[in-house]
């Protein structure tokens, strides 16, 4: 038997297993076969994957009752559930823009960490969601499957829309949409510089920077990273900065931030990718003071997840959600517009 585990280092949280069945394998239900081979995977979780067409045998989806045969090639995709820390419900306000029995769509504020980790053991979006669900009598922590929760992530200092599953079936079906890249995601960013073309597509392979593991880097060779595709268009030029919209075809860690830095347009005040210093403009002290004031108003990279679209896991209905820019980004953009107006008028 051959087995491969691939956990995407990206905004999508899923894991992918592949098995090649031995020649001497007796007939056995595929859900039992797979459960016996994946550590800590309950049979209910495996069955949910089958119901969502996430178990393929010889490249075709099968149900839980399928009988495994010798030399079958089995592929299974499931939501990834990393639980390195104790998860504790915390009464933290959430901006919930939509909720039903299967899922929640949350407009995350900048500065909120999505999942507990080293240095961030509490105060995260997951802690807040656990409390919110407990108020509804949904105790995910006591479920042997640990339920759904996160389907994807956005960075701590990125604001905007996220979808959170409330049960295992919804989790699996939503995760498959992210895995298949059938979701719709649009981001608004404020970046340094102006563009030669009003729109474009950025590609390459994204992986960890070889000299700084906290950063991602765009490479032209597949062995250094995973395929990353970002489509962008310029919404408005404001002299030394531009407002752009980015549509993700793939969803890798820091994808927009790394792509923009790669083409010389890092996000405004993006400390990790070099956007936290004056990259365009004059040397006048008033201009320097203006930019530093903008940095103070927006103490993070200027990125907002403004649109999220997916197919509802139960009804199949296509759902689109949009949110306005976070107030700090909106205020800084307003200041740049005023700056350009005064500059044009010669004040």
Q: Are residues 116 and 28 in the same domain?
A: no
d(CA 54, CA 50): 5
Q: Are residues 215 and 253 in the same domain?
A: yes
CATH code (residue 208):
3.30.2350.10
Q: Are residues 304 and 238 in the same domain?
A: yes
Contact (Cβ atoms closer than 8 angstroms) between residue 239 and residue 339: yes
How many independent structural domains does the chain possess? 3
Tens-place pLDDT, residues 8-34:
333 455 667 788 888 878 888 988 888
| Structural domain containing residue 135 | 96-179
Q: Are residues 277 and 300 in the same domain?
A: yes
Q: Are residues 197 and 265 in the same domain?
A: yes
Question: Given 31, 72, 155, 270, which residue is catalytic?
Answer: 155
Total residue length of the chain:
347
> Is the pLDDT reported for residue 235 higher than 90?
yes
Tens-place pLDDT, residues 78-135:
765 555 557 788 999 999 999 999 999 999 999 998 877 656 678 889 889 999 998 9
> Is the pLDDT reported for residue 7 higher than 60?
no
Which of these, 65, 50, 64, lies nearest to 169 by C-alpha position? 50
Q: Are residues 156 and 206 in the same domain?
A: no
Contact (Cβ atoms closer than 8 angstroms) between residue 260 and residue 191: yes
Q: Are residues 72 and 161 in the same domain?
A: no
DSSP code for 15: E
Q: Are residues 190 and 335 in the same domain?
A: yes
| Predicted confidence band of residue 171 (pLDDT cuts 50, 70, 90) | confident
**3-class secondary structure, 312:** coil
DSSP strand pairing (184-192 vs 241-248): antiparallel
Beta bridge partners of 286: none
Q: Where a domain ends, among 139, 157, 179? A: 179
pLDDT at 117: 65
Mean pLDDT for the chain overall: 86
Print burial letters for 129-160: b (CB count within 10 Å at least 16), e (below 16): bbebbeeeebebeeeebbbbbbbbbbbbbbbb
Q: Enter the pTM of the model.
A: 0.77
Note whether residue 87 is domain-resident: no
> Is the pLDDT reported for residue 39 higher than 80?
no
- Measured N-to-C along each axis, helices 168-179 and 43-51 cross at an angle, to the nearest 10 degrees, of 50
Q: What is the mean pLDDT of residues 266-282?
A: 95
Task: Please indicate whether residue 155 is annotated as part of the active site.
Answer: yes
Tens-place pLDDT, residues 283-342:
889 999 999 999 999 999 999 999 999 999 999 999 999 999 999 999 999 999 999 888
pLDDT at 238: 96
Q: Are residues 251 and 339 in the same domain?
A: yes
d(CA 218, CA 228): 8
Q: Are residues 257 and 324 in the same domain?
A: yes
CATH code (residue 63):
3.10.290.10
Tens-place pLDDT, residues 185-228:
999 999 999 999 999 999 999 998 888 878 999 999 988 888 99
Q: Where a domain ends, among 79, 109, 128? A: 79
Note whether residue 136 is domain-resident: yes
Q: Are residues 52 and 101 in the same domain?
A: no
| Predicted confidence band of residue 5 (pLDDT cuts 50, 70, 90) | very low
Q: Are residues 122 and 148 in the same domain?
A: yes
């Amino acid at each position: 038997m051959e087995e491969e585990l691939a956990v995407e280092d990206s905004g999508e949280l899923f894991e992918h297993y592949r098995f090649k069945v031995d020649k001497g394998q007796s007939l056995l239900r595929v859900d039992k076969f797979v459960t016996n081979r994946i550590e800590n995977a309950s049979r209910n979780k495996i069955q949910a994957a089958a119901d969502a067409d996430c178990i393929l045998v010889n490249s075709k989806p099968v149900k839980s009752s399928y009988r495994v045969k010798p030399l079958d090639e089995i592929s299974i995709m499931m939501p990834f559930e990393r639980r390195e820390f104790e998860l504790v419900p915390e009464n933290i306000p959430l901006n919930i823009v939509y909720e039903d029995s299967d899922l929640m769509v949350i407009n995350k504020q900048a500065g909120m960490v999505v999942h507990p980790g080293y240095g961030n053991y509490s105060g995260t979006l997951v802690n807040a969601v656990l409390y919110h669900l407990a108020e509804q009598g949904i105790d995910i922590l006591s479920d042997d499957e640990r339920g759904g929760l996160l389907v994807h992530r956005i960075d701590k200092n990125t604001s905007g829309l996220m979808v959170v599953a409330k049960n295992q079936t919804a989790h699996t079906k939503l995760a498959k949409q992210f895995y298949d890249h059938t979701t719709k995601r649009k981001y608004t960013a404020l970046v340094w510089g102006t563009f030669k073309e009003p729109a474009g597509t950025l590609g390459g392979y994204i992986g960890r920077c070889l000299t700084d593991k906290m950063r991602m880097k765009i490479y032209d060779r597949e062995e250094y990273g995973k395929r990353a595709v970002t489509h962008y268009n310029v919404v408005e030029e404001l002299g030394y900065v531009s407002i752009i919209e980015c549509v993700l075809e793939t969803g890798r860690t820091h994808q927009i931030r790394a792509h923009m830095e790669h083409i010389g347009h890092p996000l405004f005040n993006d400390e990790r990718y070099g956007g936290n210093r004056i990259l365009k403009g004059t040397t006048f002290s008033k201009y320097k003071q203006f930019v530093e004031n903008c940095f103070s108003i927006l103490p993070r990279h200027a990125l907002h997840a403004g649109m999220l679209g997916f197919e509802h896991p139960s009804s199949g209905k296509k759902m689109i959600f949009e949110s306005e820019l976070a107030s700090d980004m909106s205020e800084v953009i307003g200041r740049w517009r005023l700056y350009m107006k005064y500059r044009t008028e010669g004040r």
